[in-house]
Amino acid sequence: MSQPNTTDMQKIETASNVLVLGGGLAGICTAEAIAAQGYPVLLVEPGEAVGLKAESRPLNSYSQSEKDTLNKLVEQVRSSENIEILEKTTLSCATGVAGDYRVWLSGQKPLSEKQVGAIVVASELIRNPLNAAYGLEIGGPVITQTDLEHALASETKKFTGKTVAFVVGFGQSGNPLVMERVLRSALELAQIEGTTVYVYVNDLKVAAEELERLYLKARDNGVLFFKLSQAPVIETQENGISITYSDPVILRDISAQADFLVIEEAMEADSANAHLACLLRLDLGSEGFMQTDNVHRYPVSTNREGIFVVGGSRQVKALDQACMDAENAALQVRRLLGDGTRLAPANKAVLDIGKCTFCLTCYRCCPHGAIYWSTENKPVISLIACQGCGICASECPMDAIQIGEFSDKAIHDQVQKSMANTGKAPNIVAFCCQNSAQEAAQMAADFGIALPEGLHLIQVPCAGKIDLDYILNAFVQGADGVLVMACHPRNCKSEHGNTYARWRVNDAQNRLSKAGLDKARLSFVTLASNMGSEFARIVTEFETWLRDL
């Protein structure tokens, strides 16, 4: 096989329009920011209308001036020539890859197919009242934060001369967005004639812009905060609510009465995210958000190139943060779609269709959804979406996929060459992920730490590219020991590369045992790129162990 020229670039045309899923404020801001870059936007909202109605936070939790600003933004988006709005519409199906997604939308109009270059998901959060955590039912004097916000917008007289108590931070650890709503309402209540406001709070989450000031203002206006480590005991009575708590200062149980009790609400990921993530082949992260914790990615990126997540799709976000996400998404869209053409290395992942047996293994294993089936019923690896991790190539039963400079032949040759002129020291082949172990090895070398004489480093793009037969062949070629050095768990740039590597090492160890070799001659270790001395320690100890055999 001829060595591909790494500088060969392939020109790829990309669709220029962008699908934004979700018409709440995060979606509106995103549509506006992307349209401002000159890309046509299709803004899709499952609910009645885009704008404040589609927003997860109750409209009434915003001030009048904020509402005015937001309404203006909605109007701007509605009148933009570059933005097409589809309401009461949902995504039914999505195929393709970055630069060329095909999506099917259903709603008011019959199912329609669209081609888009990129997709931005702007799910809203959902509100979940946590009355169960306090053993209470909603009703009568027990109201939710949302109920309160609605009441404050329409019937403030209801609270004149009354005592209102909030409980927050006992049913959840909470976050600044939850706290902001509580603080705003408490302040508003405190400004009503003769109203008494108590806030029973666990941790005051004020780590967001203006929140500390809002807290102080609420206090200055007479809101009484009780910072407790345990939830107060609450009982509903005929004429209101009784609240008993252990006061942390005077160390005594105190009882108070209130006319209304406001139950905290969690702001959570929408459960509909799971279905959407499945349609878009996105990894669902913790707590149902559409993004895993991956330190290698930009904030709005996902496991799939060309699909971005903003606002409530990825975290509990206040509006200003969601707007920042929107700007980031617009930059990512511009980076991806550019002027409609992209250049990508032609040898990033090359599929030999003659060898391919259409087993779907690559399609199923690709963590980036970069492999799709063409209309000719053939697998195609998108050079834009492919991240070059090589998991597909290592899993392919026909060795039909070769990854850039990390072809099977190149790796076999390197291993063979490293074994050619070896001395008496044990031969160690260390397959190193270039994102971690290779860097750590470089660091060890730069620091002048002594490394074993017989250590041979084989760089791979990701531990997911370490084939089972690379490992076994290293032993055939004469290695005394083999190290598979991957990123730490859940720290893989390609999500599962280190996991595949670990599975293969387990498999290889079983095979080595059955062949009669001590399976400890093969070892799987994880490292971070800044662990130079740890790298040196591991390889040195391994060498010592091999010498002692």
Partner 1 sequence: MIVAERKPFEEIKSLLEPYQKVLTVGCGTCVAVCLAGGEKEVGILNAELKIARKLEGKPIETGAITVERQCDMEFLEELDSMVDQYDALLSMACGAGIQFLAERFPEKPVFPAVDTSFIGVNRDVGWYEEKCRACGSCVLGLTAGICPVTMCAKSLFNGPCGGTNKQSCEINVNQPCAWYRIHERLSKQGRLKNIMEIHPPNDWRNQAPRTIIQPGYEERLKAFNGK
CB closer to partner 1, 424 vs 514: 514
What amino acid is encoded at 171 in this protein? G
CB of 508 to partner 1, least distance (A): 9
Asked if 283 is part of the footprint of partner 1 (rule: CB under 8 A), the reply reads no
Asked if 36 is part of the footprint of partner 1 (rule: CB under 8 A), the reply reads no
Provide the CA 152 distance to its chain's centre, in angstroms: 36
CB closer to partner 1, 343 vs 360: 360
Asked if 516 is part of the footprint of partner 1 (rule: CB under 8 A), the reply reads yes
CB closer to partner 1, 283 vs 534: 283
User: Are the C-beta atoms of 501 and 429 separated by less than 8 Å?
Assistant: no
Asked if 133 is part of the footprint of partner 1 (rule: CB under 8 A), the reply reads no
CB of 263 to partner 1, least distance (A): 43
Residue 237 φ then ψ, to 5°:
-125, 175
CB of 385 to partner 1, least distance (A): 20
CB closer to partner 1, 305 vs 395: 395
User: What separation in angstroms does the CA of 2 have from each of 316, 398, 411, 487?
Assistant: 51, 19, 14, 31
User: Are the C-beta atoms of 439 and 463 separated by less than 8 Å?
Assistant: no
C-alpha span between 494 and 74 (Å, rounded): 37
Which neighbouring-strand residues pair with 143? Answer: 262
C-alpha span between 479 and 425 (Å, rounded): 11
Per DSSP, the three-state class of 260 is strand
Residue 435 φ then ψ, to 5°:
-85, -15
Provide the CA 256 distance to its chain's centre, in angstroms: 44
C-alpha span between 316 and 533 (Å, rounded): 38
Asked if 343 is part of the footprint of partner 1 (rule: CB under 8 A), the reply reads no
CB of 416 to partner 1, least distance (A): 13
CB atoms within 10 A of CB 231: 16
CB closer to partner 1, 157 vs 355: 355
Site for partner 1 in 417-476 (CB under 8 A): 467-469, 472-473, 475-476
CB closer to partner 1, 225 vs 363: 363
CB of 522 to partner 1, least distance (A): 11
C-alpha span between 304 and 169 (Å, rounded): 35
Asked if 274 is part of the footprint of partner 1 (rule: CB under 8 A), the reply reads no
What amino acid is encoded at 78 in this protein? R
Per rule CB under 8 A, count of chain residues that contact partner 1: 26
User: Are the C-beta atoms of 374 and 478 separated by less than 8 Å?
Assistant: no
CB closer to partner 1, 54 vs 396: 396
CB atoms within 10 A of CB 455: 21
CB of 483 to partner 1, least distance (A): 17
CB closer to partner 1, 50 vs 479: 479
Can you count the helices (H) and strands (E) in the chain? Answer: 14, 28
Per DSSP, the three-state class of 144 is strand
Q: For partner 1, what does the binding mask look like between residues 385 and 404, x meaning CB under 8 A?
A: ----------xxxxx-----
CB atoms within 10 A of CB 487: 24
Q: Which window, 184-192, 277-285, 433-441, 511-519, contacts partner 1 (CB under 8 A)?
A: 511-519
CB closer to partner 1, 142 vs 508: 508
Asked if 355 is part of the footprint of partner 1 (rule: CB under 8 A), the reply reads yes
CB of 101 to partner 1, least distance (A): 24
Site for partner 1 in 475-504 (CB under 8 A): 475-476
CB of 395 to partner 1, least distance (A): 7
User: Are the C-beta atoms of 470 and 504 separated by less than 8 Å?
Assistant: no
What is the DSSP code string of 381-396? E-TTT-----HHHHH-
Q: Which window, 23-31, 244-252, 350-358, 414-422, contacts partner 1 (CB under 8 A)?
A: 350-358
Q: Where are the beta strands (DSSP E) in 264-413?
A: 265-268, 307-309, 341-345, 350-351, 371-373, 379-381, 401-402
Asked if 519 is part of the footprint of partner 1 (rule: CB under 8 A), the reply reads no
Asked if 514 is part of the footprint of partner 1 (rule: CB under 8 A), the reply reads yes
Site for partner 1 in 357-386 (CB under 8 A): 357-361, 364-365
CB closer to partner 1, 449 vs 468: 468
Among 512, 531, 536, 546, binds partner 1 (CB under 8 A): 512
Q: In what order do the strands lie in the sheet with 252-258?
A: 233-237, 240-247, 252-258
C-alpha span between 198 and 132 (Å, rounded): 20
CB closer to partner 1, 258 vs 505: 505
Q: Which window, 86-94, 108-116, 189-197, 510-518, contacts partner 1 (CB under 8 A)?
A: 510-518
CB closer to partner 1, 256 vs 410: 410
User: Are the C-beta atoms of 513 and 477 separated by less than 8 Å?
Assistant: no
Q: Which residues bind partner 1 (CB under 8 A)?
A: 355, 357-361, 364-365, 395-399, 467-469, 472-473, 475-476, 511-512, 514-517
